[in-house]
Amino acid sequence: MLEPLLESEKKEKILLYLYTNGEAYPREIAKAFRFYINTVQNQMLNLEIGGVLYSRLKGKVRLFGINPRYPFKKELEALLEKTLKFIPDEEKEKFYTPRLRPRRTGKPL
């Protein structure tokens, strides 16, 4: 949907994943979409250089998210929200509808 604008299907999927999942690490996204890890890493690093994403270390993992200080964050999120409406339900459920609320330890999923 946003490929003409972003010039990359992968970039669109990365942004949608981060928008719907909050934070994520490159390997997680690469695994979800079966992308090469290096491609995902490069896209995310470029988005970070551009100020669109932030990253932080948690333990040994570098987590990325949409930068709350990015001046066009609201507009970007509105665009991503609209994009989600055009995504098939199956795809939406598989990649972009994570369970974000907590679940107590030991409780079956």
Partner 1 sequence: MKIKGISLKDLAILICDYLAKNDIETVLTGGACVSIYTSDKYVSYDLDFVLLSYISRKKIKSLLERLGFQEKGRHLKHEDTPFLVEFLAPPLSIGEEPINEINEIRKGNMVLRLLSPTDCVKDRLAAFYHWNDRQSLEQAIMVCGDNDIDLEEVKRWSIHEGMEIKYDGIKRKLQREK
Q: Does 73 bind partner 1 (CB under 8 A)?
A: yes
Q: Does 22 bind partner 1 (CB under 8 A)?
A: no
Q: Does 50 bind partner 1 (CB under 8 A)?
A: yes
Contact present, 41 and 27 (Cβ < 8 Å) = no
Biggest CA-to-CA distance, the chain: 46
Q: Name the residue nearer to partner 1 (CB basis): 51 or 98.
A: 51
In sign, the C-alpha dihedral spanning 59, 62, 65, 69 is positive
Q: Does 49 bind partner 1 (CB under 8 A)?
A: yes
Q: Does 74 bind partner 1 (CB under 8 A)?
A: yes
| Residue 98 Cα to chain centre, angstroms | 11
Residues that bind partner 1 (CB under 8 A): 49-51, 68-69, 71, 73-74
